[in-house]
Each structure stands twice: as structure tokens, then as C-alpha cells.
A and B are shown apart, each in its own frame.
Chain A
Amino acid sequence: MQQMTRRADPAPSRWAYKVQRMWLTPSFRMGLRMGLPVMVVALAAATYLGNEQRRTDLFASIEAVKRDFQERPEFMVQMMAVDGANDKTLKTIQELMPASFPLSSFDLNLNDLRDEIRKIDAVKDVSLQIRSGGVLQVDVIERQPVALWRGPEGVEVIDEEGVRADKLDARIERPDLPLIVGDGANKNVTQALELIAAAAPIRERVRGVVRVSNRRWDLVLDRDQRILLPEKDAVRALERVIALEQAKELLTRDVTVVDMRLADRPTIRMTQVARKELLRVRGYEAED
């Protein structure tokens, strides 16, 4: 019997061949494996978000979930505890708080808040911490006022670095602090304090110290008396004057200026009345 069935052609058709070659192309496979899913997801997302209403709803729900999480009780700050601040500083700090308690710790930016508090005059340093139990712990280190400085902006309380700690309306508000005056006086508070300390025997007569031409000091007493101190060894010069006062009652006499600027030639200036009187005693008659 003759077999009439034709055997199938083993050759692939042109299209089968091309398709197989296409499948063996690495870029095509990569595109299908990665590019296609990415495109489908992107298309779906774009279609869903194309609607304005759905977009706002989505963002609102995301925001709500975020809020819910942030406002859990373990993240809430109930109160603030301030240590090391006096009443005036405490009031200022409370005014600086961004919102009223209770508020979420996610809404508190401790860095910004710390910088804000540091800007207060009376505060030298501050550390903030959210303690367990929802307490915002504020540890304040205040500036220690050591002197008053009468500067271009009025009377200021300064600490020993010369930084302003407070402002005063009148000097009489803090009679316990010594007064320093003059250009650059607030940069050399330590020297002024040394002078004040050295002048302890005549304390009740001291009105203040004056920085002259940002170089040397004058000690000002009542009755318009002035002790001009040298640039170097000012404390020793002052001690010499005080020793003279204790021995010869120099400052109690009718002197306006004790000039100690030249250590080997101390000079005093007397009042007009005292000068006439001295001349008269020595036998001269005043010309007029």
C-alpha cells in the first residue's frame, strides 16, 4: 500500500522562526519580565489617581492614619518641667512654646525650640528632653549677673563674659551689683571685678569703674573723685592708693584726681578751693 499521508515539514514557518528569535533576545525578555509589570502598575496607578476626588481622598486617609499614629498616648507630651530658671525666664520660655499641651512629640522640634530658648538673654545654656510619662524636661543654666554695664542701650546686667543677662530701667534696681562704664568695659568684666574687689576697703565710696579709651581703668568715687589707673598692674596701683588712704587719709582730703598712670610719679589734682588755701598757707596772696 502506498502511503498517501504527507510527512509534516520539520521546518519552522517564517513567523515561528522570527518569534523564537525574538524570545531569545535578552532585551526583549528583560522588557517583558520587568518593563511590562512596571508599566501595568504605573498605568493602574495613573488611572486611579487621575480622578481629583479619589486623589484628595487618598491623601486625606494617609494623613488621618499618620495623625492616628502620632497621637497615640505614648507619643503625647502632657506637660513641661523647667529646672534652673527664675520666674521671669520661665514666663518667657512658656511664651515660646509653639502650642498648648497636650501635643504630640512629632510636632515638637526640640532643636528649633532649644535654639529659641537660647536666644533669651538670661539663658546661658539649655537642654531639652522628652522624658517618659510625657514630660518635656527643660534644664536651663542661667547667666549669673556680676555687674551692671551702662552702655549705649541703657543699663544692662551682664555676666562675667560680658554677655547681657537682663535689661534694667534704672541702676537703682540692682544696688548690689557694681557699675562699669565705658567703651569695651563689658569685654573686660574680670578686670573690673578684680578692681572692685581690690577696692573693698573703700567700698561704700566706690561709684563704679570706667574703661578709658578701651585701654585702662578709672575708679570713680563719690565727691567726684577719680583714681586714674595704669594699663598694667592696675590692681597694684589701686592697692597703693588705698594704702595711702589708710595711712594719710588721702582720699578723705580735698582731692579730685589721683593719677597713678605713671607708677614712679603718682600725681594728685586738688580742688580750686584747696589750691587757694594751700597758697595762702604758704604765704602767697592770691592775685584775685
Chain B
Amino acid sequence: MIELYETQRAMRGLRKAALQRGVIAILDVGTSKIACLVLRFDRTDAFVEGEDIGSMAGQAGFRVVGAATTRSRGVRFGEIDAMAETERAIRTVVQAAQKMAGVRVDHVIATFSGARPRSYGLAGAVELDGQQVSEEDIGSVLASCDVPDYGAGREVLHAQPVNFALDHRSGLNDPRGQIGNTLSCDMHMLTVDASVIQNLAYCIKRCDLELAGVASSAYVSGTAALIEDEKELGAACIDMGGGTTGVSIFMRKHMIYADSVRMGGDHVTSDISMGLQVPMTTAERIKTFHGGVYATGMDDRELIDLDGDSGDWEHDRRTVSRTELIGIMRPRVEEILEEVRARLDAAGFDHMPSQQIVLTGGGSQIPGLDGLASKILGQQVRLGRPLRVHGLPQAATGPGFASAVGLCCFAAHPQDEWWDFDMPVERYPARSLQRAMKWFKDNW
């Protein structure tokens, strides 16, 4: 736990340094595309003490000065599969974004969707020795949360306090300065496979960049696609990506659950490819141009040419009706949504006061998806686009860029994490002290 604390603190320091310098890059490593945005921060002096902002916010005056996307390579299920390929793709996209921005970036914040995220709810409580809750008390109550055994080879990605309670009063956002006897907190912890983060960090290091932060794609796309009310009242964000579909549930402006389904748009494409006996690229094109999930009588008459260059005239001159295409796509989309439904049920989403569901991500652009989703997930479904960010090119405003835009917000307005608070002194390892004691015992 200490090690994690230190590494996250180090990354936080890098992030601060990057904000000081004013330029930071955002890297969304997805399964179907890799996006890079270069942010320029200015107005760093506009920090207002005592506002309802995190310790690094107030440096919000940022502008996207460079944006680039490239076809992702070597990534499967949101995890790096072929490292050299991914490294090349990252180089491509970073170079293009740097060229557009005209500045060199050294620090990069990355996000990825895979790595089997798992959510844990943690609770901790401390007795207050003083009457008023101070900053150190917050740190100690966060440190007092009993961490579950999340397994070897896992790494904590987010650990955010979502709720504070003082004696019998719960639902406090900021208990500092209030008076009570017992301070307890609920913390949401998200763990992912450590190897995925290591691979990503290694790839980024190979590109001469420094990793200044990592975030879960489900979390950041939720911050970008959900509007304030939805985040406050409770909503789920379904980020339908290429290889994975991220699920994140927000409540009272905090993420309280995140998960991912290891299925996405690429699986739809491969279904089409297999069903229609066409290459993946053709299948992708057919899916984006003609795809849908609701067939009508009109679709029987709309015939799609399946071009091919096998040399066999019969094979190359086939046509398929749109109904058939929808017949291939729909079961897979339904399967994905069913899986999402299962995750939401496991999280207890149906007990939430507001059950808004927002679909975003590149996969959410399938026509008629909102209708299908409302049948499976519930009535309140809408399609979400990322919020507007200063200087973002028109081409990067689609739902496929929700996680990239969300990462910009993550860089500008980071939510409080556990490591933003100072660890109480007694929690530091007593190892050095013990070693000194041992030396005395051995030698005297």
C-alpha cells in the first residue's frame, strides 16, 4: 500500500510539474483507435482558496492545441498485446499531435479501458482526538480504511473518498472544520491488472515520454459524457468502445462503481466478417455505413454490395440486404447490453434513486441503439457526447472521444484521491526504526 501511495504521489508531482510548465498530453489507448490531445494550460494563477475544488484544480484554463488520432495497433480488449506495434502507434499519434500543437510534450496522462477493473467499497473510521476535523484527520481516516485482499498482480488505479460521516451525520462532502467525535469515510477503490499498467508505462517510456497519470477509461468517459445533474443524482455511463465496453456508475458527483465488459464494436465487426465472408476492413466499412439494430420493411429492399477481389466473379459480386446485416449485428449488440445489464444489476444499479443511463463511445453511434438499450437497460437511456472543450477540433467531438475529453477534465479538475492527502506519520513503515532497534539489540 505504501508503495502504491508513493508511486501515485510521484505521478501527481509530475502532473503538477507539467501543469506548471503548461503543456501536457492526453493519450487514450483504445482498441480501435489511439487519440492524443495536447493541452496548453494558462491562467495558472487563478487558484481560489477555499472553493469546492480539488487540490490541483483552479488550473482549469486549458485549451486543446493539438489533436491526432490513429488506427490502433497491437491492442486487444483495451490491453496492450503487441508492444512494439502499440509503441509505433503511440509514436505516430504523439508526433502528429505535437506537430499540430507546435510544442514538445514531455508529460502524458494515459487512459485505457481493459485490464479487468474491479470495484471495492472501503470503509474506515477514526476517533477524533481534537474536536474539529482537520486535514490530518481526513488523511488518517482514509489511511484507516481496511484494504481488502485484491489479489496479487493487481494494482490500485483509483481510490477516491466518496462519502464522509461525522457521528450520525452522513453524506458530508467536506467534513473539515466540523465538530464531532467519530469521523468515518467510504472510499471507492478500483483495481486493475498490474501488468497492463506496466506495459503501458513501458510503451510510453519507450516514446521518451513520462507517464504523469493513469485513469480508467470508464471513469473518465463518465466524467465527460454525464452532465452535472446526472452525476449528482445517479447515472451509469456505458462507454462502448472497440474491444471493451466500460460501465461506470456515478452518484453525488463521485464514481461509485466501475467495470468493463470484454466485448465491443470489434466483435460486431468480426461477426459481420464471419457471417458475410468478407474481410475485416470491408466488414467495418459496411457496419459504419449501413449498420443498425432495428430492421424495417424498407431494409429488405436496400441491398449492400460486398466488394471483393478474390477473382471469383460469383464471390465478388454478392449483395446482402440490410436486414441480413442487422440480423447479424443485433444479437451481438444485445449480448453486450445484456452483459452490461448483468454488471449493473451486480452493482445494485436498480436501487439507485435515479437510473439514468448514458451511452457513449464509438459503438453508441449504431442507429437505433438507444431504442434497443432502453429495452434491455431501462427506460431512461440517452446518447451522450463528451462535453465541449476549448479548442477541440470538430473531428474529435464525437462520442468516440468521450474518454479523451474526460481525461482532459481529469487533468484540469482532478477529484480528490487518497494520495492527495498526507499520510499520518504513524502509518509510515517503522522498518527503519525497527532496524535501528535491531542493531542496538545485536550490538549491545
- Which of A's residues lie within 8 Å of B, judged by CB? 1-3, 9-12, 14, 16-18, 20-21, 24-26
Give B74-102 interface residues, CB cut-off 8 Å to A.
88-89, 91-92, 94-95, 98-99, 102
Contact across chains for B92 and A24 when beta carbons are under 8 A apart: no
CA distance A50 to B208 in the complex (A): 44
CA distance A16 to B208 in the complex (A): 13
Q: Chain A residue with minimal CB distance to B104?
A: A24
Please name 28 pairs of A and B residues whose Cβ atoms are closer than 8 Å in the assembled complex, sorted by A: A1-B309, A3-B309, A9-B88, A10-B70, A10-B92, A11-B88, A11-B89, A11-B91, A11-B92, A12-B91, A12-B95, A14-B91, A16-B95, A17-B91, A17-B94, A17-B95, A17-B208, A18-B208, A20-B95, A20-B99, A21-B98, A21-B104, A21-B208, A24-B98, A24-B102, A24-B103, A25-B104, A26-B104
- Which of B's residues lie within 8 Å of A, judged by CB? 70, 88-89, 91-92, 94-95, 98-99, 102-104, 207-208, 309, 311
Q: Chain B residue with minimal CB distance to A2?
A: B309
Contact across chains for B104 and A1 when beta carbons are under 8 A apart: no
Contact across chains for A12 and B92 when beta carbons are under 8 A apart: yes
B70 / chain A contacts, CB cutoff of 8 Å: 10
A12 / chain B contacts, CB cutoff of 8 Å: 91-92, 95
CA distance A12 to B88 in the complex (A): 7
Q: Chain A residue with minimal CB distance to B89?
A: A11
CA distance A6 to B207 in the complex (A): 25
CA distance A220 to B91 in the complex (A): 115
CA distance A3 to B310 in the complex (A): 10
Q: How many A-B residue pairs have CB under 8 A?
A: 34
Contact across chains for B104 and A17 when beta carbons are under 8 A apart: no
B99 / chain A contacts, CB cutoff of 8 Å: 20
B103 / chain A contacts, CB cutoff of 8 Å: 24
CA distance A24 to B91 in the complex (A): 15
B94 / chain A contacts, CB cutoff of 8 Å: 17
Q: Chain B residue with minimal CB distance to A18?
A: B208
A26 / chain B contacts, CB cutoff of 8 Å: 104
Q: Chain B residue with minimal CB distance to A14?
A: B91
A132 to chain B, nearest CB (A): 62
A158 to chain B, nearest CB (A): 76
B295 to chain A, nearest CB (A): 34
B202 to chain A, nearest CB (A): 15
B99 to chain A, nearest CB (A): 7
Q: Chain B residue with minimal CB distance to A24?
A: B104
A11 to chain B, nearest CB (A): 4
A186 to chain B, nearest CB (A): 75
Q: Chain A residue with minimal CB distance to B101?
A: A24
A21 / chain B contacts, CB cutoff of 8 Å: 98, 104, 208
CA distance A16 to B92 in the complex (A): 10
A25 / chain B contacts, CB cutoff of 8 Å: 104
B206 to chain A, nearest CB (A): 8
Given contacts A11-B91, A17-B95, 17 further A-B contacts (CB under 8 A): A1-B309, A2-B309, A10-B70, A11-B88, A11-B89, A12-B95, A14-B91, A17-B91, A17-B207, A17-B208, A18-B208, A20-B95, A20-B99, A21-B104, A21-B208, A24-B102, A25-B104
